[in-house]
Amino acid sequence: MSAKKKQTPLMRQYFKIKDEHPGTILLFRVGDFYETFADDAQLVSKELGITLTKRNNGGDQTPLAGFPYHALDNYLPKLVKKGYKVAVCDQTEDPEEAKKAGRKIVEREVTEITTPGVTMSEKLLDHKRNNYIASLHWDGSTVGVAFSDISTGEFALSHVDEKNLDSLLAAIQPSEILVQQKKKNKLDEKLTHHNISYIEDWVYDGDYGYNLLTEHFETHSLKGFGVENLKVAHVAAGSLMHYMQETQKAYLRHLRRLYAYESSEFMSLDAATKRNLELTASIQEGGTDGTLISILDDTCTAMGGRLLRRWIMRPLKRLKPVQQRLDAVEKLYKNTDIRQTLREELEQVGDMERLISRIAVGRTNARDVVQLKLSLAQIPRLKSQFSGIDDPLLENISSRLKLLIEVQERINTALKDDPPASVRDGGMIEDGFNDELDELRDIAKNGKKYIAKIKDDLAKEHNIPSLKIGYNKVFGYYIEVTNTHKDKVPESFIRKQTLVNSERYITPELKEVEEKVLSAEERSKTLEYELFEELRLYVAEFADDVQQVSHAIAELDCLQGFAEIAFRNNYAKPEVGDHEEIDIKKGRHPVVEKSLPMGEPFIPNDIKLDNDEQQILIITGPNMAGKSIILRQTGLIVLLAQVGSFVPAKEAKIGLVDKIFTRVGASDNLAAGESTFLVEMNEAANILNNATPRSLILLDEVGRGTSTFDGLSIAWSLAEYLHNHAPVAAKTLFATHYHELNELEQMYERTKNFNVQVKEHDDKVVFLRKLIPGGADHSYGIQVADMAGLPQVVIERAKEILKNLESHSLDITNKNGTIENEASSKKEAAKNLSEKVEKQPETSQMTMFQTHVDPRIETVLNKLEATDPNRMTPIEALMLITELKRLVD
């Protein structure tokens, strides 16, 4: 506050502009530096590691930190990547003009606000990843969602039930989310983990948003875009358009289309599933190493890379488009020569989507425009490859590849092939494009020769051999004629000075030439910029056409990439149908098989699931045997098939899946106060509440985060529920160490036991990685612990304890070597109890884990419920089991 008590004119201007842009770091151009003051200076100094100094502000010492203006591209991205919004305030007039006008302070204004979700900077954008900003608006349980990538021109609207909002946000992964100010303290906790920006409430009032959209798109309604009925989303889209216009300070002419994002068109993948299957980010490192996209991305263009990521995150759910993609991939797979030629041509195509966006909003230079021209020049070469392929989807792509010859010719005529990076320094317009520019360039280059030519022409015209042209600071260039010839001077000459032996004159023509000579270089730069702006605006008018061409090229790039990966990695074309069967022969994990040591083969496995006979597979086996890999590879093969890619298998029949759910691994969410077990149960609850018979569920170790009795009970009950409850009877792979679950095969007809085969030799375990029918009864945990390098004394003691457990007793020996207590193992107790369950028809099957049972079993359950096994002594456990046994008998 003290900084505002006494302010210099500069600081008054700074604080006025700062107050107009709350919530931003203001980079204030002062001469050759961008400066920050007060709180901004302290923050910037800390975040960028630059020196914090002080400025004398009317006697007050205001904190100051800054950097040279030419370093903006280095420092600005660092601030935005940390989540800050940055307003760039530039000088909008020449300081000399301000002096002439008698002003001490030059005019300044904010020319751009860069935020995490709204930027055109190549330094901030990943060329193979979209940078979405989303806007949300609630109407009861319905959420209107609008999202856009301003760098590519994509703009979409959707309505979604609030419970499905997480899934939608997981699909688009926005860098920034806009929310109405009044929701600030009422947001769901899950949303607060995103980068949230709050928008003033008035933006959400009335028809402001709808009118803003129709005004921008120059339409009477939004019917032509197919989004007229998405009323709640109109409000979200209006606030998003408002925010983008306010930050970019430019007409966003490249945003020419809206489309309705129909989540019903795509397979549902919640955030946990995307994380567990490691589609685009690895669980451990967060990077792309070890992810599906790292294996699948063989695209040649940035546009193709971004589209591939969208395809992976949004697998298709309708049969026809899936089959169209697969057929197109097959044609390219079989035509190696055509595929290789396409790849060579695609590698010469620049990022046309982002090029045209920067051109449209004026964040561009001549090099961008030339790159667009060169990219358009590849289109005839691409189209020529389609003549040898008969495929509907590829033919459709070819028809969308407009040549845009007039754009290419205009750019080629106007710009040099290798223009400079700056549009203000000249040297970018081709010679011969503009007569005035050619003249200015000639004058700037040959000024003295030009003046000499004028002298010779005047001397000859007026027959004055001694005529001279001179220059002084008083009145610039002048014509000097000796008294001998002054009677030949024409009336058009204006006398300026009389000397002893001569007269000095000026003419309007000479003054015009003087102006040209003295300012030719500066004027030529200004004219070049004006000509470039004319060209830019001309090219921007074709933004819609370029965007359509870009999307067609991206689609082609993805399809050829699928074909190339399939050819290189021996993938097979899946048979996708509208049925409820998944039958995979010799399936492989696409990532794991590429990461194995040289010479080590990947062991493929078969998986068969259907809703009639093999709905639930209980998969047991030791740690490290490969259970988790089998689960994940099944999910990835199904996903790849519905993306439209060939799959790592010998054969695959895939019935369309509407959702994939995973419950894999152990993690906690300490920030939200959620333990590992609570996170596990949250994910399990999400599955049971949202699965359908068309879903695929991958469960890995449900119930391991709590006590044995609790965990086994939950796992058993969950498996029963998936089998018996028709609305959620999904195809399920259930990997577990609870060998008691093998009994479910005898109780439920659609439940089958499988195990991952191992061999034991000299107390060592050999993993065969092969999935075979039947259940396992041994986890080999001690052998795995031995492989991990636990001390041998620990291993040997563990073997002793295991032996006692398996013989139904637990010896606890004190330091004196005497046995203190003895009790039956909890595992055996659970097994004994489950064996007592009366076998009944499936529709009325009663188990120890159900509540409506006879009074004896109900008494047993009540006693178990009141018991905490983790706090019992062995003798107390023995007494409890004796009592329970008596009750059951």
Phi then psi dihedrals of residue 448, to 5 deg? -65, -40
* Strand 133-139 relative to strand 53-57, pairing: unpaired
What are the strands of the beta sheet with 581-587, ordered from one edge? 575-577, 651-655, 581-587, 605-610
Pick from 117, 126, 124: nearest CA to 146:
117
Cβ-contact 580, 655 below 8 angstroms? yes
- Cα dihedral 714→717→723→725 (10° resolution): -110
- Rounded CA separation 495/479 (Å): 9
Cβ-contact 155, 257 below 8 angstroms? yes
For the chain, what percentages of helix, strand and coil (3-state, to nearest 5) are there? 50, 20, 35
Phi then psi dihedrals of residue 224, to 5 deg? -65, -20
DSSP per residue over 595-650, as a string?
A: HSPTTPPP--EEEEEESSS-SEEEEE--TTSSHHHHHHHHHHHHHHHHHT--BSSS
DSSP per residue over 683-723, as a string?
A: HHHHHHHH--TT-EEEEESTTTTS-HHHHHHHHHHHHHHHH
| Count of alpha carbons within 13 angstroms of residue 560, beta-carbon side | 30
Cβ-contact 569, 575 below 8 angstroms? no
Cβ-contact 666, 706 below 8 angstroms? no
Tokens coding 592 = 């794991």
Tokens coding 428 = 């970018």
| Residue 628 assigned as binding residue | yes
Cβ-contact 841, 787 below 8 angstroms? no
| Residue 625 assigned as binding residue | yes
CB atoms within 10 A of CB 59: 8
- Cα dihedral 335→336→340→342 (10° resolution): 10
- Rounded CA separation 298/296 (Å): 6
Pick from 266, 393, 396, 385: nearest CA to 325:
393
- Rounded CA separation 638/267 (Å): 11
Three-state SS at 281: coil
Tokens coding 508 = 């309007």
- Rounded CA separation 838/832 (Å): 13
| Residue 869 assigned as binding residue | no
Pick from 328, 332, 289, 296: nearest CA to 312:
296
3-state secondary structure 731-762: EEEEECCCHHHHHHHHHCCCEEEEEEEEEEEC
| Residue 120 assigned as binding residue | no
Token match 């200004």: residue? 526
Cβ-contact 592, 629 below 8 angstroms? yes
| Residue 239 assigned as binding residue | no
Cβ-contact 542, 421 below 8 angstroms? no
CB atoms within 10 A of CB 52: 13
Q: How many residues are there in the chain?
A: 889
| Residue 622 assigned as binding residue | yes
Phi then psi dihedrals of residue 763, to 5 deg? 60, 20
Q: Which residues are annotated as a binding site?
A: 621-628
Q: Which residues are annotated as a binding site for ATP?
A: 621-628
